[in-house]
Structure 1
């Protein structure tokens, strides 16, 4: 199946800072955007430049990562790679998605009020799809818009699953979304999207990407932590109430929810930041406790890569190439 691959710059709101988004998206035979099985969204970390290491330079390129991620996903899935909209020097600042971060992007807490990360993800993807569809309409495939009108075949589709990945500093967005899912689920009376009740004007958009905060949260099937780490506390969720909320949510739905913790000695064996390992172990234990009450639907995995090698910046990036996300 053919793919559209490219880079877009989109704001969350008019006049706001631009998010740089690289994407690898499946196409129909007529070159329209196809309905994917899943949307996999990777949030990147701090900038690392002029290292002199070709592997690090390659794995710092969002476009390369989008293609890499697409190749790792089973079936017909879209890959999105999102850089922070703002940087303080080299430090990624995801303030638009995690309002509680400080000037260098470190979180003071994770506050679910108004669901900023889920709302932001929906806006980013919706704006990206709109721009891509405009590109298609301006191109040679002038009939592609007609190919995406609501039809009986599309009505039979379920919304694609959403897979969330955070690399390094990008883990703060994962934590924010976990916190928002826990809060949203406790208040929601209907955690599943009913496509048949969708406004027809939103049908196509919702079948391509989640169009609202509730759509984002209700379709999340996996959270992947990719060698996350901070120079302060908050790399992993250790809030018991949040994890209990996740357990309650999974116990009430029919689908599985997966947490996968991927790490290297760079983060999990750093003698100068021992709290990272402590937080990881705490989160894993809390999830394991909740999984006992979820009839096998809360899935957990933990994998350490490059064990036995001296910790290095190179291994921190190499995890992106060797990570097992299937």
Structure 2
């Protein structure tokens, strides 16, 4: 299968700041967008301008990362790389997805009320698909490929899964989605909704991506934390109630849910920010404890990279090339 790879700029609502989204999407032989096995969505972090290091400059570019991520995905999967819509100087501010952040984008808390991150992800993907389908149609006409519809080539036999990845500051979006999944599952259980069944809206029409907040949450099969770290607490989820809610949710489904914590000495061995390692260890322990109750369906793990090398900003970015996500 071929791929459409490019960059679009989309708002959550009219007049709102634009998210820069790079994508690498599978194409059917007809050159229409094809239904993927999964959508992998990577949220990036702060800007690091003027380093003079070509590798950092390359790995700071969302378009390059979309191609890189697509190459790491197993099977026919779509890759999405999302930059924050707003920056305070170099600092990424994901306020549209994580409302309770301060002026430089550091989280004050992860409040799941209203499912802002899940709704925002659904909205971003929907806007992207519309933009990209228009580009695909124009390209097809330019290539004299006939008057084909710029829609999915076939409907999936099951809904595409969603893999969520957060790099550096982008980890705040992962934490927000974890909090929302725990909260949504709890509310769904209380209202007698079968959380093991995904919304039928995913299986109708030409939908290539989850259409609603509930669709986003129910489709998530993996969370990856990629060398996350903050200048304050909150890089990892350490709320036991949230993790217990995740375990309860997994126990009610027939699917597995992976949590993979990827890290380098840059974050996990920083003597000036010891809370990062402490939070990572706490989250991993909570996940491992709850996993024992889930008959193997909750799957936490950690992966260390560049162990033994001196801490550096370069290794922080190089994890994006080294990461093993399969």
TM-score, normalised to structure 2's length?
A: 0.95
Give the drift of 1:135: 1.8
| Counterpart residue number, 2:148 | 144
**Separation in structure 1 between the aligned mates of residue 241 and residue 150 of structure 2, nearest angstrom:** 47
Q: How much does 1:54 deviate?
A: 0.7
Matched residues in 2 for 1:311 and 1:161: separation? 35
| Deviations, residues 215-234 of structure 1 (Å, cap 9, x unaligned) | 00000000000000000000
- 8 Å contact kept, 1:136–1:144: no
Maintained 8 Å contact 1:193/1:215 = no
CA RMSD after TM alignment: 1.5
CA distance in 1, matches of 2:33, 2:93: 31
Post-superposition, which runs of at least 4 consecutive aligned residues in structure 1 deviate over 2 A? 136-139, 141-144, 146-149, 192-195, 197-200
| Runs of at least 5 residues in structure 2 that lack an aligned partner in the other structure | none
Q: CA deviation at 1:194?
A: 4.7
SS in 2 for 1:198: helix
CA deviation after TM superposition for structure 1 residue 145, in Å? 1.3
Residues in 2 aligned to 1:268 and 1:199: alpha-carbon distance in whole angstroms: 39
Could you tell me which residue of structure 2 aligns to residue 321 of structure 1?
A: 321
Measured at CA, do residues 134 and 271 of structure 1 come closer, stay the same or move farther in structure 2, by a change above 3 Å? Answer: same
The corresponding residue for 1:204 is 206
* CA-CA distance at 1:192 after TM superposition: 4.0
Give the Å deviation of 1:203: 2.5
Asked if 2 retains the 8 angstrom alpha-carbon contact of 1:262 and 1:304, the reply is: yes
Equivalence for 2:194:
190
**SS of the residue 1:165 aligns to:** strand
Give, in angstroms, the shift of residue 257 of structure 1: 0.1
Tell me if the contact between 2:196 and 2:254 (Cα under 8 Å) persists in the aligned partners: no
Partner of 2:264: 264
Residue 228 of structure 1 corresponds to which residue in structure 2? 228
Alignment of 1:111-126 (within 5 A): 111-126=111-126
- In structure 2, the partner of 1:28 is 28
Once the two structures are TM-superposed, the CA of residue 138 in structure 1 deviates from its matched residue by 2.9
Alpha-carbon spacing, 1:146–1:82, altered in 2? closer, same or farther (3 Å): closer
2:101 matched to which residue of 1? 101
8 Å contact from structure 1 (residues 102, 108) kept in 2: yes
Q: Which moved more, 1:132-141 or 1:272-281?
A: 132-141
Task: Write out per-residue CA displacement over residues 114-152 of structure 1, whole angstroms, 9 at most, x where no aligned residue.
Answer: 000000000000000011111223331453317648xxx
Q: Which runs of 5+ in 1 are unaligned?
A: none
Q: Give the TM-score normalised by the residue count of structure 1.
A: 0.95
Query: Which moves more between the two structures, 186-195 or 250-259?
Result: 186-195
